[in-house]
Structure 1
């Protein structure tokens, strides 16, 4: 009704108007060209406008839905006046363009190819999942560290065994003692475990969100929760995320009678999409995925010696290949989702995988920082400045700190990064370093099992990558110098 009122008022005033609705049934966003061509924007909403930043730099009129229904002509006149005022004073557009925006976003390009969109859907799920992993993983790691101090070697096992039971001596709802390390360990474990419980549902829900917008969230989260309950793990979360997204988008696209349209977003879409997604997973696809997840867990638990080293080498190479890109994120997601299945074990292969992945992800930025320090003449001034920042980024496990170097010299940096990171991943697995925290770099060193060997693996990979980068750049630098001398000689001759 609000859109219809505004369209009629705009037509009567001689203006052309494009409308984007953002109901719970999803939306068809305006194109960038349509937004760029607009003279003004009217927001008529009772909920937060999604992707509001797309309209930055445009004069806006922001009102509730009721106002748009009752006073369409007045709002059109107000928008026209604002457009004329901004045209006379361009500084207002520049100030508005710098204003921040909020809301859930998926960053999915619907015009991209199928492969690109699949990757973007996955990355949407991963990006919303990572904060849950980080909070849960670090809290559980702190819990077990405190438990070892307070109780002894078996402290983590005791916390897991008794921490969540009503009769347990470490149950914080009954026996929390603010001066007891054991109570604090149990508190951290309970909160961390609660955060971890959302890992698969959030991954599933926001993959579905990337595909179908808001209609995908409910079936995605419910389906992911069922997948976790059935023991299907992150593989089940991936399956329910894609299934929920496509089912919700299909139902949201139904052409229904005007009288039914109002209940579609709050009743029909969540009801049908959740029933279809959860029903299909429970009855048809859940059991084979659970079987596959169990076999994967058995394979990880059976890894020793050379098989563990090969896995570390492969994951390390993936972390160093595209420095925060999709290949890097696949390896990282594989490591972080494995943390949720570990329990109280202190030497589980999943913990070794996490340590190998984080160490490998730190190699590239630290190597570039070192290379720009020991051979500054091989790099430009901006690269030397980036190298200074890369020390902190690498130490904090931010692989993207090496992206400026890879963008300027992709072949040499990516080749050397892949090799160096693979060395670190393999060594970390061989040394048996473990880690429960999914992020943090050197700042979570107290939470790392065998920290000195972890650092040794990291240093080895950094030195290997640095040597390769310097050698490749020095070779081309020397070749360029020889060619310059030759050209000078020819010119003189």
Structure 2
């Protein structure tokens, strides 16, 4: 029996998406046609077509007014119309699809999923989604605040000046959006589009209550999982499904998350943030060294992995609370591994293979740019010797950065942020911390690294 597949979608993802799918399903059932339809609506991707189903299908009906990742159907006969046409003439579309001449089936392995819509699984992935959407705000806001200091460290206090405008844009707008966007896109990652509004609302409440980025993380996960649960348990007829995503879920999920933030979560997390801020600002030299060493070592441990990202997220989150020391230690710890490996290839080239020497040439630029992943090729080739050397060197760089009371107002850019006035305080001491960490890394790599095999 010939099998027909379909995809329906409309720009709003509310009425036409589901009405078109229902019309096609009813027509296929009446004509006893093997049929399956994928909907891309406001409540997310449902009934997704698999690679195997696409490969075996006789033809595809695309009833959509927006992108549906048509590249999946390369090599298959396709009937393409707007969603309204499927509602009006589903029998005609099915007849056209049945009459088409099948082409060679596409290879299942080559079928990509649409960018940005692939479902993420696990708390770490959800957190990183929120962080990735938050980062542009942190970068832009931090640099704009730093630029306001070009006119004088307190020039922004005089209203009507360019310094005040830059501070309002960077601190009053960009930084104010950090926590809501973090929470909103954590929730979006968990529950797709319906999770966005409750997450943003929970994040804004976290910011207003003084719960900071930790409160935003709580709000994002709470909103996401509440919305995901609601999507499973609330079942309306397809032609009413739009009410679920634009009325029922936003109303009840936002109310639940809001009440939880105000009466349950906000107070304790706000107290935690105040305690953390107080502890960080009152650190003595010994504790500062210990914290800086820990953050730097974490950055080098897995070079872009979960441990690295945990330290990075900690530093970035504190920027919104006007605590800039940990971010400086984090960036120093992230630059040092790659710079140290570059220096080791320069000082002791005979210890490295030709491929490692080539990687070392690029490592210098990667290190200066705060791209810790440039160390991965070296660590993968000899992990039990290279990683300890990197961890110790980065720990020293982070410890010295904290001990020198360096502050960094932007979460990325590497040493190139030194070109921006006042983005980094105590910059000569910051350079010294990074140089010291780089030198320690290079020496330890040279001492510990397994000698290059003789051909």
Normalising by structure 2, what TM-score? 0.84
Is 1:55 matched up with 2:72? yes
Alignment of 1:382-401 (within 5 A): 382-401=355-374
Distance 2:166 2:97 in 1: 53
Judge which range, 377-386 or 457-466, deviates more: 377-386
Distance 1:6 1:267 in 2: 26
Alignment of 1:412-491 (within 5 A): 412-446=385-419, 447-473=423-449, 475-477=450-452
Normalising by structure 1, what TM-score? 0.78
- CA RMSD, 1 decimal: 3.0
SS at 1:84 equivalent: coil
**Compared CA separation, residues 143 and 72, structure 1 to 2 (3 A):** same
Q: Is the 8 A contact 1:205 1:224 kept in 2?
A: yes
Q: Is the 8 A contact 2:61 2:80 kept in 1?
A: yes
Q: What's the offset of the Cα at 1:80?
A: 7.1
Distance 1:14 1:413 in 2: 64
Match of 1:215 in 2: 194
Of structures 1 and 2, the one scoring higher in RCO (CA 8 A, sep 6+) is 2
SS at 2:39 equivalent: coil
Distance 2:104 2:439 in 1: 56
Aligned equivalent of 1:309, options 289, 295, 303:
289
Is 1:84 matched up with 2:102? yes
Q: Which runs of 5+ in 1 are unaligned?
A: 110-116, 149-154, 163-169, 172-182, 343-349, 485-493
Is 1:282 matched up with 2:300? no
Distance 1:373 1:264 in 2: 62
Match of 2:167 in 1: 189
Match of 2:12 in 1: none
Q: Is the 8 A contact 1:372 1:387 kept in 2?
A: yes
Residue-by-residue CA offset, 1:121-173 (whole Å, 9 max, x unaligned): 111111111111111111111111x122xxxxxx33x41x44xxxxxxx32xx
Distance 1:430 1:82 in 2: 73
**Compared CA separation, residues 36 and 231, structure 1 to 2 (3 A):** same
Q: Is the 8 A contact 1:106 1:210 kept in 2?
A: no
Match of 1:232 in 2: 211
Q: What's the offset of the Cα at 1:241?
A: 0.7
Distance 2:295 2:55 in 1: 47
**Compared CA separation, residues 408 and 83, structure 1 to 2 (3 A):** farther
Q: What's the offset of the Cα at 1:435?
A: 1.1
**Compared CA separation, residues 244 and 373, structure 1 to 2 (3 A):** same
Match of 1:490 in 2: none
Q: Is the 8 A contact 2:312 2:330 kept in 1?
A: yes
Distance 1:107 1:28 in 2: 12
Is 1:326 matched up with 2:306? yes
Q: What's the offset of the Cα at 1:53?
A: 8.7
**Compared CA separation, residues 53 and 424, structure 1 to 2 (3 A):** farther
Q: What's the offset of the Cα at 1:14?
A: 8.0
Match of 1:126 in 2: 131
